[in-house]
Amino acid sequence: MHEMSLAEGVLQLVEETARRENARRVKLVVLEIGTLSSVEPDAIRFCFEAVTHGSIAQGAALEIVASQGAGWCMPCAATVPMTEIYGACPQCGSYQVQPTSGTEMRVKEIGIE
Amino acid sequence: MCTVCGCGAGETRIEGDGHEHTHVHADGTVHTHSHTHADEHAHEHAHAEAPLGVHSHTHQHADGSEHSHAHIHDGEHKHEHGGEHSHEHGHTHEHHHHEHAVGGDLDFGAGPARAHVPGLSQSRMVQIEQDILSKNNGYAAANRSWFDEHGVFALNLVSSPGSGKTTLLCKSIELLKDKMTISVVEGDQQTSNDAERIRATGVAALQINTGKGCHLDGHMVGHALQRMQPADDSLFLIENVGNLVCPAAFDLGEHHKVAILSVTEGEDKPLKYPDMFRAADVMLLNKCDLLPYLEFDADLAEANARRVNPDLTIFRVSATSGEGMSAWLSWVEAGLAAQVAGRSESVDALKRRVAELERQLEQTQAGK
């Protein structure tokens, strides 16, 4: 359930930016959520709607860009796709895989007017 | 990320805490004050109409004086309005004096800039590219540098509920308290039972209740630090809310997360909750005195933990029998010693720097 805190974190970044830009309204929020991050996109969607209620971002569309998981497999000495964090390498089955992408949780950009 | 964990909006309570506000007044002055609230009243605002969360209040104080000021809720200290929420102010709010924009009207002059700039209102995209946890990480970094400046060794203890965290903590404190100063922060949804158990050992403890929240965050711990003022060169222990999921994501500024797994749980817990075992540097396998009575495979549990985190340091302990505690406690003592040495080194380095600057100053003055 820490998606609620994360949604609050998103709203803070959005509000700060909106205020700095003298925005009247936030129409769109774009997040980048990696498939290996500890965030459930559906949960954050639900929480985002709840926390933005009554804020400048009320009713804003939420777009979630999913970045695909990848890791560096040491035995293979190669970048391999990963579907599960700390999971096995799909090529050699080793667990010596260091996640290199897909763990992102970022606010990318917002659309304002 | 304020103390407002969304799952427990505005419900965090630090023992004995008043209530702190930051107001930004219309003339731009900012002041922070804390209230201890005598009377209770519920107070509900609809903020939807007020651009950027600006709203005005008229307060009537006990002495009869009245003043009106505008707040800007800047997101640092946010109130959760609109829900069922009671502010307990010792003064009355005159609600009919509120100057909210009505009926969804847009009031451009009410924004912090008090002006509307034509041409800036067109729809456009603004890049942010910031980590969602950046706020929390900022608070955590501030805590960490405070710890380092004061030679304080900070540990964040995480586990599922019932793994024996508090018992382990009490036992560790009893064995260490003659060698070092210790202070403890206890995180739980409700009750101050754990802080009372810790205080019974004779060390300082502060309870943080997270309400509906599922974890401690960097901001809460920052407040706890202010409140407790841990001694220089001391040990600072944070017992997080019993939860193997959320606390993994929230840095508190600690030097190490210590995950506690008890042998009455499953060997596969590190695989089921990999984030936590990955985030931890140390794992304590607790309740090892029960191993003869259980089918728990301790070697398998260790192997599973190392699969998600090959660098994990593991100690097998029993807080009840005291078995294995000495290795864990030596690790704590070594960590504190390194922190203390690091601080005195930086103090020495600063002293040398001051001496060098003084020498240069004397030379410059002599040269004149």
Sign of CA dihedral A109, A111, B3, B5: negative
Token representation of residue B227: 């409140």
B299 contacts: CB under 8 Å, gap ≥ 6: none
Predicted confidence at residue B27, as pLDDT, reads 52
Nearest to A23 by CA among B262, B282, B311, B117: B117
Contacts with B126 from chain A: Cβ below 8 Å: 17, 21, 109-112
Predicted confidence at residue B11, as pLDDT, reads 57
Predicted confidence at residue B366, as pLDDT, reads 86
Q: What residue of A is the nearest CA neighbor of B45? A: A54
Work out the pLDDT band at B285, boundaries 50, 70, 90. Answer: very high
Nearest to A31 by CA among A61, A58, A5, A75: A61
Nearest to B90 by CA among B153, B18, B157, B162: B18
**Paired residues of A34 in beta bridges:** A67
Q: Which of A19, A27, A28 sits opposite B52 (nearest CB)?
A: A19
Supply the CATH number for residue A107's domain.
Answer: 3.30.2320.50
Query: How far is it between the farthest Cα atoms of chain A?
Result: 53
Structural domain range at position A32:
2-68+101-112
Contact (CB, 8 A) for B305 and B283: yes
**Paired residues of B24 in beta bridges:** B30
Does some domain include residue A92? Answer: no
Q: Is the pLDDT of residue B45 over 70?
A: no
ipTM summary value: 0.81
- For the ranges A22-26, A35-39, B171-175, the lowest mean pLDDT is seen at A35-39
Predicted confidence at residue B88, as pLDDT, reads 40
Is there a contact between A17 and B47 if contact means CB atoms under 8 Å apart? no
Is there a contact between B108 and A24 if contact means CB atoms under 8 Å apart? yes
Tell me the average pLDDT across B283-303: 97
| Nearest CA-CA distance, residue A31 and chain B, Å | 9
Instruction: Give the percent of chain A with pLDDT over 70.
Output: 99
Does some domain include residue A88? Answer: no
Residue B276 backbone phi and psi in degrees, to 5: -65, -45
Predicted confidence at residue B302, as pLDDT, reads 97
Tell me the average pLDDT across B174-187: 96
Nearest to B73 by CA among A21, A28, A12: A12
Does some domain include residue A87? Answer: no
Domain count, chain A: 1
Tell me the average pLDDT across B39-50: 40
Predicted confidence at residue B127, as pLDDT, reads 85
Tell me the average pLDDT across B294-316: 96
Q: Is the pLDDT of residue B111 over 70?
A: no
Contact (CB, 8 A) for B22 and B31: yes
| Nearest CA-CA distance, residue B325 and chain A, Å | 30
Is there a contact between B135 and A9 if contact means CB atoms under 8 Å apart? yes
Neighbours of B152 (CB within 10 A): 25
DSSP E strands: which ranges in chain A?
Answer: 26-34, 61-67, 70-73, 78-81, 97-101, 105-112
**DSSP notation for B69-108:** EEEE--SSS----SSS-EE--SSEE-GGG-----TT---G
| Nearest CA-CA distance, residue A48 and chain B, Å | 10
| Nearest CA-CA distance, residue B198 and chain A, Å | 27
Nearest to B214 by CA among B9, B76, B75: B9
Contact (CB, 8 A) for B166 and B197: yes
| Distance of alpha carbon B230 from alpha carbon B191, whole angstroms | 23
Predicted confidence at residue B344, as pLDDT, reads 85
Work out the pLDDT band at B291, boundaries 50, 70, 90. Answer: very high
Interface size, chain A vs chain B, as Cβ–Cβ contacts under 8 Å: 143
Work out the pLDDT band at A87, boundaries 50, 70, 90. Answer: confident
Q: Which of B82, B124, B215 sits opposite A54 (nearest CB)?
A: B82
Contacts with A105 from chain B: Cβ below 8 Å: 131-133
Q: Which of B275, B307, B309 sits opposite A38 (nearest CB)?
A: B275
Interface with A, mutate which of B45, B106, B126, B309 (most A CBs under 10 A): B126
Is there a contact between B123 and A2 if contact means CB atoms under 8 Å apart? no
**Paired residues of B72 in beta bridges:** B54
Work out the pLDDT band at B345, boundaries 50, 70, 90. Answer: confident
Does some domain include residue A90? Answer: no
Does some domain include residue A63? Answer: yes
| Distance of alpha carbon B130 from alpha carbon B4, whole angstroms | 20
Does some domain include residue A106? Answer: yes
Residue B202: strand, helix, or coil:
coil
Does some domain include residue A45? Answer: yes
Nearest to B222 by CA among B146, B135, B108, B115: B146
Q: Is the pLDDT of residue B54 over 60?
A: no
Q: What residue of B is the nearest CA neighbor of A2? A: B246
Token representation of residue A22: 């003298």
Does some domain include residue A93? Answer: no
Is there a contact between A15 and B52 if contact means CB atoms under 8 Å apart? yes
Tell me the average pLDDT across A19-32: 93
Contacts with A106 from chain B: Cβ below 8 Å: 128-132
